[in-house]
Homo-oligomer: A and B are copies of this chain.
Amino acid sequence: MCENAGLAVTHQRHVIYEILKNMHGHPSPEEVYARVKRRIPSISLATVYKNLHLFIESGIFHEVSLHHGSLRVETNHRPHHHLVCTRCKSISDIDAKELGLAAKHGKLPGGFLAQRYAVDVLGLCAECQRKAD
């Protein structure tokens, strides 16, 4: 299966993978755990966490927020977006104008009222590119 990432194919890992494939939305580890538990009652939450991290590190799944974890206050009051380094997790600012995305405001399909855009540009910062040579 998808385990050319150097991961052993264990029963637990396989079931977690299958369940993730068939879930939709943005499940939390607890939600995944609850589903997996129905098929493997003896599984532990720690195992679910470990495997979710492995899947994310391997790029098999993404996580929704690249900078979840702790509360961060935005001190830059100018319109700007974020450059998020996927390697070192650093976040730096870039002026909205400099990035130049044409963002639609107002109603979107589905009736959602768009008021503000928060863009994360994911990639590698200059420093991590140098190290990756």
Contact = CB atoms under 8 A, between A and B. Distances in A.
Contacts of A74: 26, 61-64
A9 to B, nearest CB: 20
Contacts of A70: 28-30, 68
A5 interface: no
B68 A69 contact: yes
Report the contact-size class of chain A (Cβ under 8 Å from the partner): 35 or more
A96 interface: no
A83 to B, nearest CB: 5
Contacts of A67: 64-65, 68
Interface string A61-89: 11111111111111110000011111000
A63 B72 contact: yes
B110 A66 contact: no
Interface of A: 20-21, 23-30, 32, 52, 55-56, 61-76, 82-86, 91-92, 94, 98-104, 108-126, 129
7 contacts: A27-B73, A63-B74, A64-B72, A68-B72, A111-B125, A113-B123, A113-B129
